[in-house]
Homo-oligomer: A and B are copies of this chain.
């Protein structure tokens, strides 16, 4: 579905990216903690490169790139554009400096402003730019979330446990919205069997991997009304869940042993109590908040422990398609998931991404674009699992019921949690 040109969204997205680095030093922005994570500086540059490569170069007559080496340095994985500086070495580039990257952003922002202004009086250009600008905006938003998760990982490697952002009032022991765990047991919402449509439709933006909309048959199932909480997960730990092979996928159990995993990422035991590193500093565990930073393996093992299973992505979407897209997103003020409020089926959106049991595969009839942008999604459709719903690090307005996020089963540095399902 072609998108209308929305210049104000471009400007908002660009500004929001910069604001994530507010108060951070050039050192903070330059380091890379692992191959899967990138330096903030690289995100600042790569999102800029995206506009330059896919919008300015094809559509701005006479556009002059600021530096030809950017095409190599800041290309993430688009073979159609050319070779790429190796991902694990992104943290070896002290030059170009952060200041240079900021100048690169300004250079591209200026050119984009001119192009968008030009489009105001050129209907053909407006048509050509609409979908591209929408895609670039969404792309920039995806990197905004990665900037938070990647920087959290870097700080999490630091024995000083630095604070990224103080919470309001400066008290980092209690997060806004945190509250004692309720004594309630998990409640369930049921869904009837049927053939349902899944995937995106309508005029709004979506990624190609959400299409084509198609029919699936769902058997009757129930969905847990809230995500699994830290309190729930503490019981799994206390019951020896991490050392009982009968609860685990074989590969997951081996993974946990080889990596000496005995709790979610960022948890550590101090004098017998579990504490958790957050973007607001290290804190006590909030038993009522959703458990977070678990792998697919841990999510699956917990579900088995609880006598349940993970939902498929189609079950999740079927349930979520009726719900408003509200929840704890990155504008909430707290960058750690808190217990979702309300009653009934809640917390589907925001808070934590929810692992589904669905392998990331193309929808029937899916076809990637044949140009370089077509490398956006399709070529990653193997050995990854779909997560749904967004997290407390997701920009507000970014996700929808049909949105498909995806990561390998061992991934833990994303804000990923668990929602249970069961067949009936």
Contact = CB atoms under 8 A, between A and B. Distances in A.
A361 interface: yes
B380 A249 contact: yes
Contacts of A248: 379
A409 B382 contact: yes
A120 to B, nearest CB: 36
A341 interface: no
Interface in A1-53: 25-31, 33, 41
A296 B381 CA distance: 12
Interface string A89-116: 1011111111000000000000000000
A423 interface: yes
B91 A91 contact: yes
A93 B365 contact: no
B357 A157 contact: no
Of the candidates A80, A91, A379, the one having the most CB atoms from chain B within 10 angstroms of its own CB is: A379
Interface in A214-252: 214-217, 219, 221, 245-246, 248-252
Contacts of A97: 25, 27
A359 interface: yes
A113 to B, nearest CB: 28
Q: How many copies, total?
A: 4
A214 B245 CA distance: 29
A182 to B, nearest CB: 30
A297 B89 CA distance: 26
A160 B27 contact: no
A392 interface: no
A382 B365 CA distance: 24
Interface stretch (A69-77, A316-324, A326-334): A69-77
A410 to B, nearest CB: 10
Nearest to A162: B95
B219 A89 contact: no
Contact of A245 (B69, B79, B357): B79
A195 interface: yes
Nearest to A151: B94
A158 interface: yes
B195 A217 contact: yes
A158 B95 contact: yes
A379 B92 contact: no
A358 B312 CA distance: 14
Contact of A379 (B26, B250, B364): B250
A383 interface: yes
Kindly list the 5 A-B residue pairs having the minimum CB-CB distance in the complex, ordered from nearest.
A359-B359, A79-B245, A217-B217, A27-B94, A27-B30
Given A33-B92, A80-B246, A216-B216, 15 more contacts: A27-B27, A27-B30, A79-B245, A85-B159, A94-B155, A94-B162, A96-B160, A195-B217, A219-B365, A250-B375, A251-B383, A296-B382, A300-B382, A309-B362, A359-B359
